[in-house]
Structure 1
């Protein structure tokens, strides 16, 4: 991990005074960050490319796989939801989308004159706590139950690959990528056991601190999406200790002056017992953008 961070430090210093500047926002977490909205249910004004916004969507990989994070910078368009795949040549768009469409669209309105770029890497089912990883994966950098490669490694590789590109918009001139914020939607997998849920604030703080370090900005604004529960299970709860984890999320935000919590997730409908419906993802992106713009104004 130290070697990768060192390379990132070098890449972050490659900007020039003449470079076109892009504010970069990282989108990470588990499946409700992956995105389960249906592209064919998008209204016309959203079912099209978001002109002027570029995205680098790192290829999703499992713990133990060769470090991945492959991707290319392209104009943001629908299809960066679950099922998306990428290599160093292009994106294979899916039939789903996540928060990226409305997050970017709303930020463009709130930050007129700014250039916006997104880096996305997320994986469904992943936990932060090592004991909750199961077969989905773990974000703890010290998770070594496979061969030592975990989700934090894939995150770092994604960022490294994204920052290794000099010209993200293809205009023939060097671009400067300026870290501007993190949006994190995760926690459901840490809400199955009481003790794990009770430790979530500490685990989240450590992870966010390391992500901020990767972007060389220890006060980088962070927007957290609050987990919610569809209630579509035999006992009326999908996440047995979800309320404890929600309190831990609030505790993290309350103790971090550069963090905000999106709570509108409580009002969303579901397409299955785990994932929001199309309307939910449309609103979620907007609410994340509102919170992020408020943090950037402070």
Structure 2
């Protein structure tokens, strides 16, 4: 053991002692951890916690892994004491595999797998963006019942020109030695995470890398040569990361602060790197950038302070969530395929589901075509993981199918009587555009559609097809818009179609659904705080109809005070409407607790009726 190891060992042990103290005396966020603490205290088996703090998390169907890389500001040089008290403690719902090394080192000096807490930086007593980034991402996935795990390795004083040089492919050939070490840390971290989440009962828990955050560039601003090469080097690095960990992997980079005058190399080189970072973030898909100019710096004007790192982690999370919402925040639409008897098959091509005729190539059109050329379903953002009929498997009229969607344009054929959009947010509103047209009106058929209604039985439109023509433009019958539609308490929007034409494949229905900023507010007393007093207002108004404002508990403005308004209160609890943070921890009462609340409300209402009736 060399001198540096002897110096660092007590600090490392002290970290685990602090963790043990927090575990035994501090608040714990999950029943699993509280039960474990009770058992440990009762049996006096404290030593196993001091030897290894192993993440013990509730079961989940998926663990979303995020990578953290870069140089010293990704590793962290901010004092733990500058964090809010609650973030200085162990975060019991987030796992992290971490590894530290000296500046520009080809070997690690420490590594481990633990629950997330500050202190996993090369500089003793410091933290990086992982603390708040992990907190925000865990909250983001909490509603889905999914977990978050982090893998972190960053080294101070390292640049893209040499240390993080990318070979350009999924191998480590021609990669810089720090980048190779980073990949080894990721491999070890994934093994640890997968081992910590074994499937139960022969099932399978998905553990996948979902994104990467990157804070780097100070080193490359030291020389004009590396600053001039930064745009090309960063572009190649992101491409290499995606070749290794997933095409279109969401990547968020932090831009150098305009105030980092301690970077060396002067203002000109620093601006070259900053400009390159902005150009790359704009040019590459699935890439975003955090502007750090307002984040606090230490006295060295180089490293982010505690407040700066606090803000950096949250900003990384905000941009990452934006990327994930554009690609993975699925809504589902269920409907029946009305398939003609010609035996056409379906094939997934990229993000497109094609109906292929028995002979000939599929239509290149982006929307419906007549029966001789086939039709397409365009998925602009979602991954059609649940599509049936892929790999050219034939479908028939009874097979049906499911699409996942988010702001997606859909075309499908007749046979549809009910369209249900599921898993929407009951607290939000949606603009819906329904398009009706005849796919091959040149045969003279006349298509009549009546009674297009939403889930509240509100009539959205009616129309009759004009007939004649064969192109999409001339066959367009009408477009029906629904603005600010609110899903029911289950998150469903349902549209009903009455079709007077019995000819198969005569009607093609298009749908565009867009999430809009919700005006819903559970601040019923108008004091800019959603709290228990607002819940009492909802309880007292439950069952009322025909409301003109929300002072009686009508959060979504639909005129009725019902369970949908309670869900909005739950989602906004502890916030000020209109400024609700993406990182707010939302209370989620259990079904039993919810039943108790509703039950008490019903008892209260019965008592009131008896007293005043």
Structure 2: distance between partners of 1:243 and 1:154: 29
Aligned to 1:140: 165
Contact 1:190 1:197 in 2 (8 A): yes
| Of 287-296 and 270-279, the range deviating more from structure 2 | 270-279
Aligned to 2:253: 224
Contact 1:126 1:189 in 2 (8 A): yes
2:239 pairs, out of 205, 209, 230, with: 209
1:38 pairs, out of 79, 86, 91, with: 79
1:150 aligns with 2:177: yes
- Quote how far apart the aligned CAs of 1:182 are: 0.6
| Of 40-49 and 182-191, the range deviating more from structure 2 | 40-49
Largest Rg, 1 or 2: 2
State how 1:109-258 maps to structure 2 within 5 Å. Answer: 109-112=139-142, 113=144, 114-130=146-162, 138-141=163-166, 150-165=177-192, 167-169=194-196, 176-215=206-245, 217-230=246-259, 240-258=268-286
1:282 aligns with 2:314: no
1:100 aligns with 2:100: no
**Secondary structure of 1:58's partner?**
strand
2:119 pairs, out of 73, 79, 86, with: 79
- 1:181 to 1:107, Cα distance in 2 relative to 1, 3 A: same
2:91 pairs, out of 40, 50, 62, with: 50
Contact 2:66 2:151 in 1 (8 A): yes
Structure 2: distance between partners of 1:241 and 1:231: 12
What CA deviation, in whole Å up to 9, does each residue of 1:12-58 have, x standing for no partner?
xxxxxx98421010000001101111111211121111121100002
RMSD: 2.8
Aligned to 1:25: 66
- 1:276 to 1:244, Cα distance in 2 relative to 1, 3 A: same
Aligned to 2:435: none
Structure 2: distance between partners of 1:278 and 1:27: 18
- Quote how far apart the aligned CAs of 1:252 are: 0.5
- 1:57 to 1:175, Cα distance in 2 relative to 1, 3 A: farther
- 1:246 to 1:232, Cα distance in 2 relative to 1, 3 A: closer
Structure 1: distance between partners of 2:158 and 2:258: 17
Q: Which ranges of structure 2 fall in alignment gaps of 5 or more residues?
A: 1-58, 168-174, 327-613
- 1:230 to 1:19, Cα distance in 2 relative to 1, 3 A: closer
Number of matched pairs? 256
- 1:69 to 1:181, Cα distance in 2 relative to 1, 3 A: farther
Point out 4+ residue stretches in structure 1 off by more than 4 angstroms: 61-64, 170-175, 237-240
Contact 2:149 2:193 in 1 (8 A): no
Contact 1:57 1:120 in 2 (8 A): yes
What CA deviation, in whole Å up to 9, does each residue of 1:250-278 have, x standing for no partner?
11111112000100x10122212210111
- Quote how far apart the aligned CAs of 1:110 are: 2.3
**Secondary structure of 1:81's partner?**
coil
